[in-house]
Structure 1
Amino acid sequence: MTDHHGPQPTADEILDALDPEQRRVAKSVDGAVCVLAGAGTGKTRAITHRIAYGVLTGVMQPMQTLAVTFTARAAGEMRGRLRQLGVSGVQARTFHAAALRQLQFFWPRTYGVDPPRLTESKIALVAEAVHDCRLRADRTELRDLTGEIEWAKATQTAPDDYPGQVRATKRKPPRDAAEIARVYAAYEKIKAGRGQMDFEDVLLLTIGLLDDRIEVREQVQAQYRHFTVDEYQDVNPLQQRLLDLWSQQARSLCVVGDASQTIYSFTGATPAFLLGFRHRHRTSEVVELVRDYRSTPQVVRLANRLLTHATGEAARHRLELVSQREDGPAPEFVEFADEPAEAEGVARRIRKLLDRGVRAAEIAVLFRTNAQSEGYEQALADHGIPYVLRGAERFFERPEVRQAAVLLRGAARSGGGPGAGGDAGSLAAEVGAVLVAGGWSPEPPSGSGQVRERWESLNAIVRLAEDFAAARPGAALPSFVEELAERANAQHAPTVDGVTLASLHAAKGLEWDAVFLVGLTEGMMPITYADTDDKVEEERRLLYVGITRAREHLTMSWALARSPGGRAGRRPSRFLDGLRGGAVSPGRAAAGRTGEGAAQGSAWHPGESRARRAKAGPVRCRVCGRGLADAAERKLGRCLECPTDLDEALFERLRDWRLGQARVLGQPAYCVFTDATLTAIAEAEPSSVQQLARISGVTRTKIDKYGPDILAIIAGSSAEDLAEAAEALIAARDDDAVPGPEDPV
């Protein structure tokens, strides 16, 4: 039950660490309690202290306690906090993980066979179903169809009932409802025939097992007597049905949520269960958490004002947050002439924050759709700013991280690393000493992108050791290795240094010192297909989530045109009405100077390429003529599956040159050019600056910096010769110690 690596707090100490409202939550360890917790109000702290208090007072037994949340990362964080409070043995899992665990245990004992295998690719099965129905669907349509099937299963809608349910809920499916019902039925048939199940089936089969077998239901209900459900506003009907079966005989049930942060209704999630909790549990206690410990009063006031215009059931239960922090800077509202200027302006502001000491990992750029990320990737790369795309390769699956785990396990078994026991015997120093063999050093390398990226991963582990030691003084290396394994199982990754690029949906549950909310125009926020009052209100809540991610610095921006020289017909989001107060930074004027300044003497004429882009209209595949929606396809100018005229030898020369540039600059390779841009260059083989400028991803800054090299490589010069010349130029600059025209000052 206890953690043996530090003194266990007493029950009174658990309560002393909380504010009055959080203390009420912690003491409500019997019966039902509904916690309405606003953004940044310490809900995770409140519910973990509640569990710890319940265990320490003897009301709860750890093995009879199940905490349920919606992401493996959140579950891992909850387990980590409980360990720090001296409590282990509590099950903290996602709905699906908890159900799958029960299914794998009870199914063989009940039916004598293993449960169906969890499918690795739902979208592949949907593609097969589409083919069997003699229909056609591109990749975007396949994702939409998969989403519809997930919604139907989450709302317990069978294939035959799908068209009627669509009409009843006024849902607008991506294609004819009867066709989707056919695909849905075919998908279920294929899956069943192969003995497979999807994530929704995990819940459905567990519900069926508990419904059909009273002995299984009684065993589960006897096992778990205390339940905590985080992010309860995101529960869908299927999850609620499972929770009802689990908790019928529960001694305590605590649900936590915020109706103003309901942003997943497209998956079947509804705040109705949260808002109706007190009616279903007549004796329940309701506690509101409104003290915001995350954001400055300026950010909190803006978030509160946004919700004053909200309508609907969730709006009637909105919480008025009260900041507990000191004053900070006023939120900025910035208007730009076009999207490239907006991305450039955001990158410049981020550079200023970095120069003032804000860490890259504490900055985020948040957008409505993932397709918006490309311009910001390019702008940050232009400025040599490292970034992390949320949803990219998982941290614990990186080769250097796996190797680091092996090294640390070996050191723990042998009694500690090289620094153990000496003057440098702190946990972080010990971990760092072990990871030297994996490529870590106290100072970041000045080498190539891969070397720097590897170091960032290892340095994140060292920083994690620092945080772990601060939370648990005296903890030894074996304890940290155990913590690392727990985090790996939960995919609870430490922070890697780099500006986060993420969609607003992906940002839920996270926070940063500085947040840039970009692309805030009508048609994007709210999104075009938000065509009902309820959908528009969900878009407002999505913006609210974005605003409340910021601790101190908040910038909200929009562009009046998509492309340079395009018609400035866009309008700022309606949600900004009443928030701006007429104070808009002169981003538009600055954007104009950014786009055309410093062009004198250059062979590139921005006005010409802007005019071309403005006349171009929708981007279409140069091979088959289909409209291109995917960012990578737009960059290439063709569908990914269409035949390519790529000059592979030229592409390899460009890659070699890029690697040399990255080494010289001490930046990741993508900061020079992304793979997609290099591919587009190798396919187009431009012979002039004007032709090079027409390629998506080749900005004016890139033209000035790399244009002559690129054209020389296409003309036949070797990457090695150009790399040597670049190194000589950098060396000469270093020797002179005088900033060059491209050097940051």
Structure 2
Amino acid sequence: MLSTLNESQQKAAQHIDGPMLILAGAGSGKTKTITTRLAYLISIGIDPSSILTLTFTNKAATEMRERAFSMIDKNTYPPLLCTFHKFGLLFLKFHISQLGRKNNFVIIDSDDKKRILKSIDKETTTAVLSSEISKFKNSVVSIAEAKASAQDKLYMQIADVYEKYENYLEQNNLVDFDDLILLTYKILSTNKELAKETSEKYRYIMVDEYQDTNELQYMLLKKLCDQHNNLCVVGDDDQSIYGWRGATIKNILTFGETFENTLIIKLEENYRSTNKILFHANALIEHNRDRLGKKLVGTRGEGNSIRVYESQDENEETRKITEDIKKLISNGESAKDIAILYRVNALSRALEEGLNRANIHYKLVGGLKFYERAEIKDLIAYFRVITNANDNFSIKRIINKPKRGIGKMTIDKLELESHKKSKSMFSIIKEYTPDELTVLVGKKNSRTLKVFMASVEDLQDVLEDTKMRFIDLFEDTFDFKSTYAKVIDAEDRLANIDEFYGYLRDFFIKNIDLNLEDFLNEISLESAADAISDEYISLMSIHASKGLEFKHLFIVGMEEGFFPLVGDGSNIEEERRLGYVAITRACDELTMSFVHSRFYKGRRTQLVKSRFLTESDLIKGSLTIEKNSAFKKDDLVKHKIFGMGRILSVQKAGKDLKLNINFGGMKRDILSSFVEKI
């Protein structure tokens, strides 16, 4: 079973006792190595029931199980190989009684969770409550700590809801997804005997995709290793791209410090991409400071150079890419081997339209098509009401967005009256006197509905007068964006809304004689234009592409502000890791594209090409950022003669680095090739 592995993979597979970090570069045979190690441990007589392998997805667990089990005796007791959450579920079924609860608990899904939160607090956005409570749990923040750390009214309210939500779960013997790990950790923390027993049961623990672990998962692993240090983790610090959902890159960066005598093995041979692609991926990621340092080495030959497309706008960009794709398909390439990646989901709109026009079948991976997104459907419903106020279906969708206090009962009463009188709901609101409307829906709702009707009529007048002022006045009137400003994926949603506004503006500029109704008719045709086919190219965000590979890859939106995202909350090192992930999805051919202008926040904006194009040595540019090649200031290093020292400064010296090192008071300038990092 070891014969198909390279030297580094064999070394990792045969390591048995003590902590080990397998630093596995993109396309370096990570899964093959960890599954072979699992089979190897069993083959040398280690009890399979003492081996625990943890993954992040059921899909990964299934693939690893099949690959590992194909190498071992069919009669062997199967070792436990599952997700973190599945492990938590199994543990709680045996031990939740430690918390004074029964083991016939029910696991609630995200919709159940939102319904419970909604019943507790109708005012605060449910998505915000759900997200913040999840963060509390994954950072092991208690209710008391959440209350003590609340700095403003919103977080005081969230902490209060957190307490009521937890009480509700306990009273009804429910657990949410986060509880599967949190309650397991709590039990192991409070029962030392059980922690010892569990740790002795699982003497050999392996973790896949370790760079994606969060604070809680790290703390659980520490408990599971209570009686031993036989923890093997596999991951790639350069592919840690989920900081926004709680993953902590420090878990992998500090693994060697946390677990003494860690063996670090680097898998640097890449079996996926050509040398040219790997050269530029390595060049980009070397600019990051927070990394352990490795360099991908190709096994597939030089390959073609990466192409960089420069276009005036997104329409020219889409035209070039669709022409390339048509050529590839006509030359016999399979559509499933072709993909287009982007950092910001809103960029898919222009691509979707271009692909529809070119009759190229596509699928959106891990996302909804542009016109199927909730925020866009809401906008379309608003515009339909403005062009045709008698559209009951659209009125029902938007009458309480943003929230106006119009509940389901009020909508039902209006709809019933509409059927009785054979008039539209809008006509009822318009024609009834305030007193008549008050009898139907109550005084407060009557006033709200009259204001809504007047707003729609004002915007109808604006459309008659000047189309170009319509969008600004629409947003001023309804404050539509506020509906999505505080949801968990607000940035994406608001970008989609701005993209839609920009598209409408552009439509009015290019079609002076056409109106809003013509625009709505056109997009109805576009969104229904998908033909049925077995062969699709893939459109997806870079996050959705992780773990996938494509022979022919296009990365669009290589502009500052789009990729990398810049501004509040953005992390340039994580953005750069995303760039590295994107480039290393390509096997044979890669095209990266930037434009001089795009719709940005609803207006056409001049853009600057991405720094990543310069940093990856694809184009020359004035932007220079100091490289980090595994050595940086304050690193500890070892020299054969001078022993251990600390780096004081790093300078470029040809292809090497000149390090000024303090060896216990004696300072020396030494080239980096003569020392090794500790």
Instruction: Check whether TM > 0.5.
Output: yes
Match of 1:41 among 22, 28, 37: 28
Please give the secondary structure, in 2, of the residue aligned with 1:48.
helix
- Measured after TM superposition, the shift of residue 127 of structure 1 is 6.4
The residue number in structure 2 matching 1:102 is 91
Quote the Cα distance in structure 1 between the aligned partners of 2:243 and 2:110. 23
**2:54–2:84 contact (8 Å) kept in structure 1:** yes
TM-score for the superposition, normalised by structure 1: 0.56
Aligned 1:438-517 pairs, distance under 5 A: 456=534, 497-517=535-555
Q: Which amino acid aligns with 2:557?
A: G
Q: 2:8 aligns with which of 18, 21, 44?
A: 21
Distance 1:164 1:524 in 2: 37
Please say if 1:148 is aligned against 2:121: no
Q: Kindly tell me: are residues 282 and 177 of structure 1, through their superposed partners in 2, closer, same or farther at Cα, counting changes over 3 Å?
A: same
Match of 1:388, SS state, is: strand
Find the aligned partners of 2:619 and 2:192 in 1 and give their Cα distance: 64
What displacement does 1:545 show? 0.9
Normalising by structure 2, report the TM-score.
0.62
Which residue matches 2:123? Answer: 135
1:338 offset after TM fit, Å? Answer: 2.4
Listed one character per residue, the Cα deviations across residues 619-674 of structure 1 (whole Å, up to 9, x for unaligned) are xxxxxxxxxxxxxxxxxxxxxxxxxxxxxxxxxxxxxxxxxxxxxxxxxxxxxxxx
Whether the 8 Å CA contact 2:281–2:616 is kept in 1: the answer is no
Give the superposition deviation at 1:26.
1.0
| Deviation digits for residues 316-374 of structure 1 (CA, Å, limit 9, x no counterpart) | x1211111111211111112222343334323222222223332222222222333333
Structure 2 equivalent of residue 689 of structure 1: none
Aligned partner of 1:424 in structure 2 is none
Letter of the aligned partner of 1:91 in structure 2? L
For the pair 1:536 / 2:551, whether they are aligned, the reply is no
Identity %: 34
**Pick from 64, 67, 79: which aligns with 1:78?**
64
Distance 1:211 1:581, change over 3 A: closer
Q: State the shift of 1:254 in Å.
A: 0.7
**2:80 aligns with one of 83, 87, 91:** 91
Is contact 1:259–1:271 with CA below 8 Å preserved after alignment?
yes
- What one-letter code is carried by the residue in structure 1 that aligns with 2:359? G
C-alpha displacement of 1:388: 2.8
Structure with higher Rg: it is: 2
Q: 2 CA distance for matches of 1:539 and 1:513?
A: 23
Looking at structure 1, the residues matched to 565 and 147 of structure 2 have their Cα atoms a distance apart, in angstroms, of 25
* Residues 573 and 228 (structure 1), Cα distance of their counterparts in 2 relative to 1, 3 Å cut: same
When residues 98 and 386 of structure 1 are mapped into structure 2, their CA distance, relative to the original with a 3 A threshold, is farther
Match of 1:260 among 217, 235, 238: 238
Whole-Å Cα distance in 2 between the matches of residues 279 and 563 of structure 1?
Answer: 47
Q: Judging changes above 3 Å, is the alpha-carbon distance between structure 1 residues 364 and 583 closer, same or farther for their aligned structure 2 residues? A: farther
1:158 aligns with 2:145: no
Contact 2:92 / 2:103 at 8 angstroms: preserved in 1?
Answer: no
Which whole-Å CA distance do the structure 1 matches of 2:241 and 2:73 have between them? 33
Secondary structure of 2:340 counterpart: strand
Aligned residues: 458
Paired letter, 1:85? M
- Given the superposition, is the C-alpha separation of residues 517 and 219 from structure 1 closer, same or farther in structure 2, using an over 3 Å criterion? same
Cα distance, 1:498–1:273 mapped onto 2, change above 3 Å: same
Are the equivalent residues in 2 in contact too, given 1:337–1:568 (CA < 8 A)? Answer: no
Q: How far, CA to CA, are the matches of 1:144 and 1:539 in structure 2?
A: 24
State the shift of 1:213 in Å. Answer: 4.0
CA gap of 1:500–1:193, structure 2 versus 1, over 3 A, is farther
After superposition, the C-alpha distances for 1:183-232 in whole angstroms (9 at most, x for unaligned) are: 44444344444432221111111112233445644553343221111111
Match of 1:573 in 2: 610
* Equivalence for 2:250: 272
* Whole-Å separation in 2 of the counterparts to 1:182 and 1:250: 40
Residue 501 of structure 1 and its aligned partner are, at CA, apart by 2.0
**1:666-685 maps to which residues of 2 (within 5 A)?**
none
Q: Report which of the two has the higher share of strand.
A: 2
Instruction: Report if the CA contact (8 A) 1:333-1:583 is conserved.
Output: no
Where does residue 55 of structure 1 map in the other structure? 42
Q: In the alignment, what sits opposite 1:246?
A: 224
Q: Deviations over 1:110-145 (max 9, x none)?
A: 8572353211225x64466467446343xxxx4454
CA distance in 2, matches of 1:545, 1:294: 13
Q: Which amino acid aligns with 1:45?
A: K
Which residue number corresponds to residue 221 of structure 1? 199
Distance 1:130 1:91 in 2: 38
Distance in 1 (CA, whole Å) between partners of 2:73 and 2:559 is 48
The answer as to 2:306 corresponding to 1:335 is no
**Deviation for aligned residue 1:376:** 2.8
Change (3 A) 1:383 1:166: farther
1:694 alignment partner in structure 2:
none
**Which amino acid counterpart does residue 101 of structure 1 have in structure 2?**
L
Given that 1:133 and 1:182 are in contact with CA atoms closer than 8 Å, whether structure 2 keeps it comes out as no
Secondary structure at the counterpart of residue 606 of structure 2: coil
SS class of match (2:178): helix
Whole-Å separation in 2 of the counterparts to 1:55 and 1:217? 24
Identify the residue that residue 594 of structure 2 maps to in structure 1: 558
Counterpart secondary structure, 1:255 = strand
Once the two structures are TM-superposed, the CA of residue 523 in structure 1 deviates from its matched residue by 1.6
CA 1:450 to 1:244, structure 2 compared with 1: closer, same or farther past 3 Å?
A: same
Query: Does the Cα contact within 8 Å between 2:117 and 2:129 map onto a contact in 1?
Result: no
Is 1:524 aligned to residue 566 of structure 2? no
Q: One-letter code of the match for 2:107?
A: L
SS at the partner of 1:16? coil
Task: Tell me how far apart the structure 2 counterparts of residues 518 and 145 of structure 1 sit (CA, whole Å).
Answer: 34
Looking at structure 1, the residues matched to 321 and 141 of structure 2 have their Cα atoms a distance apart, in angstroms, of 44
Matching residue of 2:343? 368
Between 77-86 and 542-551, the greater mean CA deviation after superposition: 77-86
Cα RMSD for the two superposed structures:
3.2
Cα shift at 1:19: 0.9
- The one-letter code matched in structure 2 to 1:156 is V
Aligned to 1:696: none
Supply the AA of the counterpart residue of 1:388: K
**Is the 8 Å Cα contact of residues 308 and 618 (structure 2) preserved in structure 1?**
no
The corresponding residue for 1:628 is none
Matched residue, 2:108: 119
* SS across alignment from 2:234: strand
Hey, what does 1:385 align to over in structure 2?
360
In the aligned structure 2, how far is the partner of 1:149 from the partner of 1:369? Answer: 26
Q: Distance in 1 between matches of 2:358 and 2:166?
A: 49
Query: Which amino acid in the other structure matches residue 36 of structure 2?
Result: H
> Residues of 2 paired with 1:165 and 1:287: CA distance?
41
Q: Deviations for 1:695-745, whole angstroms, at most 9, x for unmatched residues? A: xxxxxxxxxxxxxxxxxxxxxxxxxxxxxxxxxxxxxxxxxxxxxxxxxxx
Deviates more, 1:381-390 or 1:223-232: 381-390
Change beyond 3 A, Cα 1:178–1:521:
farther
Do the aligned partners of residues 263 and 243 (structure 1) sit closer, same or farther apart at CA in structure 2, a change above 3 Å counting? same
Shift of 1:84: 2.7
Post-superposition offset of 1:278:
1.9
Task: Compute the displacement of 1:580 (Å).
Answer: 5.6
Amino acid at match of 1:70: F
Q: Is the CA contact (8 Å cut-off) linking 1:106 and 1:216 kept in structure 2?
A: no
Structure 2 residues without counterparts, runs of 5 or longer: 369-527, 622-678
- The 1:360–1:145 alpha-carbon spacing in structure 2 relative to 1, beyond 3 Å, is farther
Aligned counterparts of 1:355 and 1:30: Cα–Cα separation in 2: 54
